[in-house]
Structure 1
Amino acid sequence: MPKLPYRPCVGVMLVNRDGLAFVGKRAPGGNEPTENVWQMPQGGIDEGEDPYEAALRELYEETNASSVELIGSTKGWVTYDLPPELVGVAWKGKYCGQKQKWFALRFTGKDKEIDVKKPGGGKHRPEFEDWRWEKIEKLPGLIVPFKRAAYEEVVAELLPLVKA
């Protein structure tokens, strides 16, 4: 089988005034794991879309949040590979994993702005069934194991920007 490409994607570390990051509990479905299902918002970049604009769009589509300020981003792309049992299944079998550009955003709104049950103004299917604010250092331990190294890289690069 030929080597599949990585899916271009963005991720958002949404940080509140207390320096805690948003994590959403993935809604169950399909081939989804049932443990370590907390993650930060992320999603694909549309053809011709600027990564930062994609990050703002994905954040709104998954959390309803739009009151944000840019803190910074990863210098390059962070990649992860799908486990063998998901290659050929996830994303209609087109990709071996994702390459992600991550953005740290400061949330300037009130918590009631976040609505994972009716994200994107109620125009998008919920990706999360619950959410909470979490210590940034704990994020890698909450994600599915095959994404853990990517989360460790994201935390190592963005945490200093958040604390600055």
Structure 2
Amino acid sequence: MSKKHKTPLPYDQRPYRPGIGLVLLNAQGLAFVAQRIDTPGNAWQFPQGGIDEGEDPRDTALREMEEEIGTNKAEIIAESADWISYDLPPAIADKSWKGRFRGQTQKWFCARFTGTDGDINLETEHPEFESWRWMALDEVPALIIPFKRVLYDKVVAEFLPLARAMAR
């Protein structure tokens, strides 16, 4: 039995997929970033993912962290004031999420990492990343794929004071 193929809505009429993003800071105030497996080139990002129906965004952030980087050793210390959205380029939007969304709207969280580097394990059930590193939070937007850069600039501006306070 085959599934009926639904034609996606025109790009500008598509909704945003609800999701979260997580800035994970270590004791030195450095941010965790990881390089995606499925994107060619230098595609780094913070852990992020979709919110399941009925799921609390804060719970989603902790679940996604464990699913993507194999650890639950963190405590949330801040939440973005607003939801922040980004648009996928139309060609990517037609392929991602079966063409149902134009991009994502995300609630962002900042968490303090309470483990050691050995607690991070990218070899998860469904690996998304091939490598990772700690780096200065304000240097991260330069590594992000261009269509997400404005979102990352906003997230970094909001959480940079926390990273700097931890670095002292």
TM (normalized to structure 2)? 0.89
Q: Identify which of 81, 84, 87 aligns with 2:90.
A: 84
Percent identity reads: 51
- Give the match's secondary structure for 2:93: coil
Residue 54 of structure 1 aligns with which residue? 60
2:50 equivalent to 1:44: yes
2:110 equivalent to 1:104: yes
| Alpha-carbon contact 2:30-2:163 (below 8 Å) kept | no
Cα distance in structure 1, aligned partners of 2:47 and 2:84: 15
2:33 equivalent to 1:23: yes
| Alpha-carbon contact 1:137-1:155 (below 8 Å) kept | yes
Q: Identify which of 15, 20, 25 aligns with 1:5.
A: 15
Tell me the CA shift for residue 13 of structure 1. 0.3
Residue 130 of structure 2 aligns with which residue? 129
Which amino acid letter does the alignment assign opposite residue 50 of structure 1? D
Which amino acid letter does the alignment assign opposite residue 127 of structure 1? E
- Identify unmatched segments of 5+ residues in structure 1: none
Which amino acid letter does the alignment assign opposite residue 153 of structure 2? E
Larger-Rg structure:
2
- Give the match's secondary structure for 1:158: helix
Which amino acid letter does the alignment assign opposite residue 155 of structure 1? V
Deviations along 1:2-51, whole A, 9 cap, x unmatched?
610000000000000011000011003xxx3x233010000000000000
TM (normalized to structure 1)? 0.91
Moved over 6 A (4+): none
Cα distance in structure 2, aligned partners of 1:101 and 1:48: 15
RMSD: 1.1
Residue 75 of structure 1 aligns with which residue? 81
Change (3 A) 1:107 1:114: same
| Alpha-carbon contact 1:35-1:144 (below 8 Å) kept | no
